[in-house]
Structure 1
Amino acid sequence: MGTLYESFAKYYYPIFRTGKPGSDEDLKRIETAFGFLDTFLEGQEYVAGDQLTVADIAILSTVSTFEVSEFDFSKYSNVSRWYDNAKKVTPGWDENWEGLMAMKALFEARKLAAK
């Protein structure tokens, strides 16, 4: 989770300050982190065992943040499969999504202001 979230922060947080994302190298870190998670989820329904744990919830919150930031993780089939399931089985998912919509509006406003 630390690797995945850190890669998000380095690439996407600059949007709040400058209206533009981080560097191409920062984007590569995201792809590397998703590749690692995808490999880790091979044959697994959950990230830490055979049932939903706090690890799934923490990673779900980060992956959903990538979704609203329009990072296309569809090529990571294990992550996509896990994500679809995690959204269904995680208590409080709707509340998380509401907060993400507010964040998305801020991102979009900063991007427009930078143009």
Structure 2
Amino acid sequence: MYRGLMPQTCLILTHKGGPYELSVKRRTNEAGELVDYLAADSLQSYVTGLYRAAGLGRGYSSHSGRRTFASRLLAQGHLLDTVQLLLGHSHFDHISPYLEVSKRDFREACAALDSLF
């Protein structure tokens, strides 16, 4: 089920070899309900620093990397359930903000819709 990974272990470790600390955060979902979630702020900061060190600067973050990861998986034909699992989200409405549609894919989808009518 986990393809050789051990779900009880951390996938990414700090420079000291330990797990990143998680903070409880709260956000409002699309239904207007408050939802608690866990976030590793120091890991997010580290990934953002990697983007900057690579010369990508502003506009790139750990979340833009997650969006790219999710979009590429979907473009390769992986199921939404798989992407949801890999991003660690329990509900689909949590994954939708990470999904991107390229302009080309958007145009092709619109053209396909136009051909139906």
TM-score using structure 2 length:
0.30
Larger Rg: 2
Task: Compare the two structures and name the one with the higher helix fraction.
Answer: 1
Task: Compare the two structures and name the one with the higher strand fraction.
Answer: 2
Quick one: higher RCO (CA 8 Å, sep 6+), 1 or 2? Answer: 1
